[in-house]
Amino acid sequence: MNIAFFETAAAERDEITKALVGNSVQFYDGVLTKENVASVASADVISIFINSEISADVVAALPATKFITTRSTGFDHIDIAAAKAKGIAVANVPAYGSHTVAEYAFALILSLSRKLFPARARIRDEKSFSIAGLEGFNLEGKTLGVLGTGRIGKNVITIAKAFGMNVIAYDAFHDDAFAEKAGFPYVDLPALLSQSDILTFHLPYNKGTHHVLNETNISLIKKGAYLVNTARGELIDTKALLVALTDGTIAGAGIDVMESERSLKAGVSSEIVSEDMTLATLPNVILTPHVAFYTQEAVAEINKTTIQNIVLFIGGTPQNIVS
């Protein structure tokens, strides 16, 4: 089999090659796009990450490919319908970051609640030990609004309960057994926005969740609440978020994913790119480059599952198929 890998770190390549011995494995720097898809015209299997946007045009330009495996849980960057119509199976890695991302969400929450970055800057930049303006707040007793109660959302709720927080959750699909065990109610979106001291996003991205927080409903947010997004940037209307962060509706935000992320990494300019980069200049925003998933343990699990996906597909017993 001819197997093409995109978006891999150099340190990962030897392990992948050894695990897929007997196949022709090629590694390509950067992302797979319609501009470079001709370079993998002979690939039977393609492995990508979230920054490779597999549009219908890219799918159409893959004459030999029968299997695409994304090294991510989300697969919104792949035109599943186009792949299915062409007989290309698509697989994902369903559960590599459920603890990893939940822990990072709380790293952002704690950094915001205790003003960690301004405190560090006070000493680094001002050489001052003054605590003026650095008063934080306890998480205990605060209400955490969790959007999305899949694997990651459930772990966030468990951590929040350990901090003594009150939890409310929003999800189109309720896990009532878990809610009863963990001790939280499901509420509708307006109630969650208006009652939460901190909002944290863990929804999958699809047409139904695009701009789930938008210019219409962002005004419902409890004034002075904080927001954390470690899921997908497209869940939030960036323009509306910028307004809310500057007018005091939202006191601060921890953002690990941006709406224009793929464009930024591809070097493409747009209005959304400009808005996302404006977020980085705001003093009440912590912006990080989509690293919530990025731990040694998560990367090892991603590679292990991806290799299994490929081996089992070649053997005729595919797993983790999403199309």
* DSSP codes joined into one string, 155-210: HHHHHHHHTT-EEEEE-SS--HHHHHHHT--B--HHHHHHH-SEEEE-PPPSTTTT
State yes or no: pLDDT of 155 exceeds 80: yes
Gap between the Cα atoms of 209 and 201, Å rounded: 11
More confident call, 309 vs 29: 309
- Residues 146, 225, single domain; the answer is yes
Does some domain include residue 323?
A: no
The four Cα atoms 222, 226, 232, 234 give a dihedral, to 10 degrees, of 50
Q: 13 CB contacts (<8 Å, ≥6 apart)?
A: 5, 27
- The pLDDT of residue 129 is 96
- Residues 225, 160, single domain; the answer is yes
State yes or no: pLDDT of 162 exceeds 70: yes
- Residues 282, 138, single domain; the answer is yes
Q: What is the CATH number of the domain that holds 84?
A: 3.40.50.720
- Residues 132, 154, single domain; the answer is yes
- The pLDDT of residue 273 is 80
- Residues 278, 305, single domain; the answer is no
Largest CA distance in the chain: 65
Spatial strand order of the sheet with 89-91 comes to 24-28, 2-6, 45-48, 67-70, 89-91
Q: Once rounded to an integer, what is the mean pLDDT over residues 50-54? A: 92
Note the pLDDT tens digit of each residue in 169-191. 999 999 999 999 999 999 999 99
- Residues 92, 159, single domain; the answer is no
Does some domain include residue 322?
A: no
State yes or no: pLDDT of 98 exceeds 80: yes
Give the range of the structural domain holding residue 38, as residue numbers without chain letter.
2-96+296-314
Does some domain include residue 9?
A: yes
Does some domain include residue 34?
A: yes
Rg (the chain; Cα; Å): 21
- Residues 241, 112, single domain; the answer is yes
- Residues 47, 177, single domain; the answer is no
- Residues 110, 246, single domain; the answer is yes
Amino acid letter, 214: N
| Catalytic positions | 232, 261, 290
Note the pLDDT tens digit of each residue in 244-287. 999 999 999 999 999 888 777 767 777 878 888 899 999 999 99
**What does the mean pLDDT of the chain come to?**
95
CA angle 47, 51, 54 (to 5 degrees): 65
Could you tell me if 301 and 151 are in contact, meaning their C-beta atoms sit under 8 angstroms apart?
A: no
Does some domain include residue 89?
A: yes
- Residues 111, 15, single domain; the answer is no
Note the pLDDT tens digit of each residue in 195-234. 999 999 999 999 999 999 999 999 999 999 999 999 999 9
